[in-house]
Amino acid sequence: MIHAEPKRTLITAALPYANGPVHIGHLAGCYLPADIYARYLRLCGKETLFVCGSDEHGVAITLKAKKEGITPQQLVDKYHTLMKESFEQFGISFDIYHRTSEKLHAETASDFFKVMYDKGGFIEKTEEQYYDAEQKQFLADRYITGTCPRCGNAGAYGDQCEKCGTSLSPKDLINPRSAISGNTPVLKTTSHWYLPLDRLQETFLNDYINQHKDDWKVNVYGQCKSWLDAGLQPRAITRDLDWGVPVPVKGAEGKVLYVWFDAPIGYVSATKAWCEANGKNWHDYWDKNSGTRLLHFIGKDNIVFHCLIFPAILHAQGEFVLPDNVPANEFLNLEGDKISTSRNWAVWLHEYLHDFPGREDELRYVLTSIAPETKDSDFSWKDYQQRVNSELVSILGNFINRVMVLTWKFFDGKVPAYNAAYHTQDQQYRKELKYGFHVMEEALRHFRFREAQSELINMARMGNKYLAELEPWHLIKTDKEKTASVLHVGLQIAAALSIAGRPFLPKTADKIAFLLNLTFDKKLWDVHFFESLEFLGAGHQLNEASILFKPIEDEEVQKQTDRLEQIKKDNESKTATQPTALNAVKADITYDDFDKIDLRVGKILEAERVPKADKLLKLTVDLGFEKRTILSGIAEYYKPEELVGKLVTVVANLAPRKIRGIESQGMLLMAGNDFGKLYSVGPEQDIEPGSVVK
RNA sequence: CGCGGAGUGGAGCAGUGGUAGCUCGUUGGGCUCAUAACCCAAAGGUCCCAGGUUCGAGUCCUGGCUCCGCAACCA
């Protein structure tokens, strides 16, 4: 969209869910780009507000709290504090880092709901749901366990059986029980409010998304388009739960707003909180006609919520400004594997800050260099070391140090005078620097932070080149005046780096400014400023030279990769310990029950992958008396060729079932758990296929 | 034919129909102010494949192959 210059910019970064610490994937995905952009706008003197906060509601929080034996509030307090402190130390320049468990947020979300409710913006649907009479509460899907109608697993959840993976609805469960009390729940009617996304798609979203076909990133637009093409469905925005923002309607006691309705409103409540503390009016930031430009920085997993659902909510509410752009990033992998909180496969921010004190900018630099702006990218410690050592240390740090040391050596640490007679010498460099600055600015405006940052390093590179060409260490012997001129320009380049580097490397920029003894009392990022390339006057006293970056040693990198190796091993060996601790023994069965199962030894004759299925193998198994086709979800753990000839245990009388169009006539017994590898269970010695297992 | 993204020198990426480029790495040279850092140069590419549009395709179109997410599948 083509805009008039916005009055102000409101930047939001995805609210991190308060059930774990922040990792490098979060940083590269949205917090760093948002921070760079916010810092850039502020330097330009533009009115900017950068808000974020912890997302603290939802069933996942209550479940995790229960597991840890603490209250949801205690759980979110713990992670909120951890995240807030890590962000701060890392230098993410939120104007406010709020949280959704604050009273102010509840009021805001509540008001928001009420306005929409009064307008008839929701559809109310009444359904029967399970209710725990003793605990006097409705049971969320996850709070109901029972026997899976598909596979007979007694520990299936109301939304899914984790044994066979079937997605369920609570009413499908045989013999349902409340996970809280163990009681048998009763069906009771309850009503919920739905956001009519189908209707909103027709009246609003189709046009809204289409409008942004050209100014949104292709991956973002593409993702939205595919959701719209599939057709949106009404979505429930309330839940029967006691953790969250209460639904502000009479008769809705015990109901809270669904976390996905309440979380983005957290942007609004964070803004309010900041405005209250700073004597501002929050309406200036959120009102439809406020002239505010709203930007959501998120990771790709959030696209549907920020590009479709939240705008739909804002539109339906009617008084709010809509997102102008949603620059979503793809995902960052770690050493080739997907980052995973549950598998502990991550570089945690708080651990990095602890292991690499004072090296925040190094991580910022690397993460911005490899930011997954257009496609998934990969972080590796070796790459981290290489980028820091060969770019930050060798090019940027070294240039600053050279120019500092030379000035102290030849001019007692005072900025020497420029002599226009030597103008032709540095004209070309001035031109290129100005051009580089221009490129950087263009890139920043279009959220291409990787490119913008690499331009910064290019400027430092030019500085090095300038010194190498003019050789002030030779010149000083023959022409002091010219040497003065050369160093004068060199120092201006250093100053330019300190300013241009602020959005990317704030702590380094401050250090350079300190070395140069440089202070500014007006807005820093001004085109004319860079035109003149005069930041330091002749005679200005510099501080003592000191080193900007230390190289990352091999041992430090080794330590980190060893740690990751260890985690990999731990995940694999969890098979032995975790499941027994986690999964309680199922209810007793009689011998007769057991006797119903016909277990046989089978020999795998053939094995092949099932097309278009990640986990499924199609096996031909010899049971002695006959050959069976059996499908098994073990493709991640076994290669087909490894299995041929293997003896395995087969449930021979399991009712046949069609999986992806192929009938599976039995089941292979495997040992393992959710985390680690699966191991087939077979006889120790070679034995006839078809032998009975008892 | 589920949905979306992506395939470009050893690695990571840029590339708007008009001479394929950048950073790292490698090799050779220069310099010695500087953190064994800096500067210059060279080698290294059937731009996934096959068709098509065009005077001209890495770029546009069609078909195929491969990779990554999501979905599905899973015990």
A578 band by pLDDT with thresholds 50, 70 and 90:
very low
Burial environment of residue A418 by CB neighbours within 10 A (0 to 12, 13 to 18, 19 or more):
buried
> Which residues is A51 bridged to in the sheet?
A12, A96
- Which tens digits make up the pLDDT trace of A6-31? 999 999 999 998 888 999 989 988 89
Cα atoms found within 13 Å of the Cα of residue A259, Cβ hemisphere only: 18
Please name the nucleotide lying closest to A219, CA to C1'. Answer: B5
A549 band by pLDDT with thresholds 50, 70 and 90:
very high
Q: Each residue of A640-675: b (16+ CB within 10 Å) or e? A: eeebeebbbbbbbebeeeeeeeeebbbbbebebbeb
pLDDT score of A147 more than 90: no
Cα A598-A600-A602 angle, rounded to 5 deg? 145
Please name the nucleotide lying closest to A579, CA to C1'. Answer: B75
Confidence at residue A156, expressed as pLDDT on a 0 to 100 scale: 64
A684: Cα separation from own chain's centroid: 46
The secondary structure of residue A18, as a DSSP letter, is T
C-alpha dihedral, A404 to A409 to A413 to A416, nearest 10°: -90
Confidence at residue A467, expressed as pLDDT on a 0 to 100 scale: 94
- What's the complex ipTM? 0.85
d(CA A173, CA A175): 6
Confidence at residue A363, expressed as pLDDT on a 0 to 100 scale: 93
Residues 276-335 of A with CB under 7 A from strand B: 300-301, 330-331
For the CA of A223 and the C1' of B50, the distance in angstroms is 30
Confidence at residue A668, expressed as pLDDT on a 0 to 100 scale: 83
Alpha helices per DSSP H over A279-359: 283-286, 303-304, 310-317, 349-355
Q: Is the CB of A343 under 7 A from strand B?
A: no
Q: What is the mean pLDDT of residues A354-362?
A: 94
Confidence at residue A586, expressed as pLDDT on a 0 to 100 scale: 60
Please name the nucleotide lying closest to A223, CA to C1'. Answer: B4
Least reliable range by pLDDT among A175-179, A289-293, A391-395, A439-443: A175-179
Q: Is the CB of A473 under 7 A from strand B?
A: yes
Please name the nucleotide lying closest to A472, CA to C1'. Answer: B33
- Which tens digits make up the pLDDT trace of A278-315? 999 999 999 999 999 999 998 887 888 888 889 999 99
Q: How many residues does chain A have?
A: 694
Q: What is the mean pLDDT of residues A391-411?
A: 95
Cα A12-A15-A19 angle, rounded to 5 deg? 165
d(CA A199, CA A652): 51
Find where tokens 């951890």 sit: A82
Please name the nucleotide lying closest to A673, CA to C1'. Answer: B75
- Which tens digits make up the pLDDT trace of A77-97? 999 999 999 999 999 999 999
pLDDT mean across residues, chain A: 84
A511 band by pLDDT with thresholds 50, 70 and 90:
very high
Residue A261 has which token pair?
Answer: 């309705």
B chain positions with any atom within 7 Å of a protein CB: 2-6, 12-15, 22-25, 30-35, 37-40, 68-75
> Which amino acid residue lies closest to nucleotide B72, measuring CA to C1'?
A613
Q: Is the CB of A694 under 7 A from strand B?
A: no
| Residue A106 phi, psi (nearest 5) | -60, -45
For the CA of A378 and the C1' of B31, the distance in angstroms is 37
